[in-house]
């Protein structure tokens, strides 16, 4: 089997909860050695205690973010912790954190504080609002970002209050952005021999994904509306329709898809109607288009319409989570991976979406709190047993 793409890259990760651990989870799946640093005075990553399906110090929530990693304990506020941190930084390529924006500099996690021990070091900070400005010291979470950057105002039924996405997608997107930033910075180090600071924020990630909506608003004052069926702002019909027994989602993102839809619905007249012939006309006559299409979808089941439209019009059923995770082909595609856990048994999880030759065949469960502290300090830093005992007694580890 070929070597994993990031084999040999070592990452020291001061992280907890979602966005940060998701960033390093993907890097670990790609072969990086991730040494997760947890505060022993707080019980480590708060994700260890997120319900349901918890046992003391662990749970399926924590397992889902932290496979293929190692865990050491280090109280960065304790006297003597800075020396251990610097020793660790000298042995890795990346120091990563997802702390509040004002904390990395204070705790010595930035390039300026560590360049003397490792001039090739990449220091990545994933925070809520950035490291500069009045909000840098504020904590921030996905749901808050969905609210303040406009996403909630655009989501949900028109008659209902603003709605959050069912998954913390800004956390996940920021994690991917941080992983990309780290990979890019490592490539730069190979060319220049010099490390650097890099930064990703949840707020910046959320704004970056507004793309065309932001362009419309900033240049023409466009204010998005919420439409029934989770409809697209301007492309019609692109939305969910009710069928005789459920729901189907279609995407007529090209004119030929609209024509194919009309044929499949046995309504060729819709395609020839001058009100509906092109994107701009259908946008102006949205309600008439949607009503006409909806009337026809109600005459058949979801399965019937999927059969009629498959290969002609982009479409799919609205699946429950259980149905989605039982879709054919997931195992063959490597989407689901399994790890052995001493309490939970065989744990199934979703894999990184990146596919490559020599992909990892064996995955390790997420570590227990401080499971690797002794080994990392002794083997990587050559600390003596006496030194390690002193650090424990001083509550540094």
CA distance 55 to 147: 32
Give the per-residue pLDDT at 357. Answer: 77
Per residue in 36-68, pLDDT tens?
Answer: 999 999 999 999 999 999 999 999 999 999 999
| pLDDT for residue 373 is more than 70 | yes
Please, where in the chain does CATH 3.40.50.10540 lie?
10-208+331-393
Q: Based on the number of CB atoms within 10 Å of its own CB, is 221 exposed (0-12), middle (13-18) or buried (19 or more)?
A: exposed
For 25, 76, 83, 102, 198, the CA distances from 109, given in Å and listed in that order, are 20, 10, 12, 11, 12
Contact yes or no for 9/27 (Cβ under 8 A) = yes
Please, where in the chain does CATH 3.30.1540.10 lie?
228-318
β-pair partners for 350: 336
CA distance 149 to 102: 21
| pLDDT for residue 1 is more than 60 | no
What is the overall mean pLDDT for the chain?
96
Q: What CATH number is given for 10-208+331-393 in this structure?
A: 3.40.50.10540
Give the per-residue pLDDT at 3. Answer: 84
Contact yes or no for 69/374 (Cβ under 8 A) = no
Give the per-residue pLDDT at 356. Answer: 80
Per residue in 269-318, pLDDT tens?
Answer: 999 999 999 999 999 999 999 999 999 999 999 999 999 999 999 999 99
Q: How confident is the model at residue 358 (pLDDT cuts 50, 70, 90)?
A: low
Residues 199-228 have a mean pLDDT of 97
Q: How confident is the model at residue 331 (pLDDT cuts 50, 70, 90)?
A: confident
Q: What CATH number is given for 228-318 in this structure?
A: 3.30.1540.10
Helix axes 19-29, 169-192, angle to 10 degrees: 50
Q: Over pLDDT 90: what percentage of the chain?
A: 95
| pLDDT for residue 374 is more than 70 | yes
Q: Which residues contact 177 (CB under 8 A, 6 or more apart)?
A: 200, 205, 208
Q: Over pLDDT 70: what percentage of the chain?
A: 99
């Amino acid at each position: 089997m070929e070597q994993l793409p990031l084999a040999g890259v070592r990452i020291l990760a001061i992280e907890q909860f979602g966005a940060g651990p998701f960033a390093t989870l993907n890097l670990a799946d790609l072969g990086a050695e991730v040494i997760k640093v947890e505060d022993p005075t707080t019980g480590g990553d708060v994700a260890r205690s997120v319900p349901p399906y918890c046992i003391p110090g662990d749970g399926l929530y924590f397992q889902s973010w932290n496979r293929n990693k190692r865990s050491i304990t280090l109280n960065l506020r304790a006297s003597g912790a800075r020396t251990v941190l610097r020793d660790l930084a000298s042995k890795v390529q990346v120091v990563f954190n997802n702390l509040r924006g004002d904390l990395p500099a204070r705790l010595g996690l930035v390039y300026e504080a560590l360049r003397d021990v490792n001039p090739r070091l990449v220091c990545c900070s994933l925070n809520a609002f950035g490291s500069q400005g009045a909000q840098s010291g504020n904590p921030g979470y996905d749901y808050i970002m969905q609210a303040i950057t406009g996403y909630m105002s655009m989501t949900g039924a028109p008659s209902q209050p603003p709605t959050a996405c069912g998954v913390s997608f800004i956390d996940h997107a920021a994690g991917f952005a941080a992983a990309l930033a780290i990979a890019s910075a490592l490539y730069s180090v190979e060319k220049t021999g010099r490390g650097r600071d890099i930064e990703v924020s949840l707020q910046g990630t959320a704004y970056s994904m507004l793309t065309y909506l932001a362009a419309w608003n900033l240049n023409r004052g466009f204010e998005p509306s919420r439409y029934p069926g989770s409809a697209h702002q301007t492309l019609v019909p692109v939305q969910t329709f009710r069928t005789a027994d459920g729901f189907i989602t279609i995407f007529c993102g090209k004119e030929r898809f609209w024509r194919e839809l009309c044929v499949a619905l046995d309504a060729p007249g819709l395609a020839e109607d001058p009100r509906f012939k092109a994107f701009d006309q259908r946008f102006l006559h949205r309600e008439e288009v949607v009503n006409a299409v909806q009337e026809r979808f109600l005459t058949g089941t979801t399965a019937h319409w999927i059969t009629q439209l498959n290969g002609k019009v982009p479409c799919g059923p609205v699946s429950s989570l259980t149905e989605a995770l039982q879709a054919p082909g997931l195992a063959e595609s490597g989407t689901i991976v399994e790890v052995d856990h001493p309490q939970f048994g065989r744990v199934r999880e979703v894999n990184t979406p990146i596919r490559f030759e020599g992909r990892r065949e064996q995955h390790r469960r997420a570590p227990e709190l401080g499971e690797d502290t002794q080994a990392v300090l002794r083997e990587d830093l050559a600390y003596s047993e006496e030194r390690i005992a002193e650090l424990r007694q001083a509550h540094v580890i």
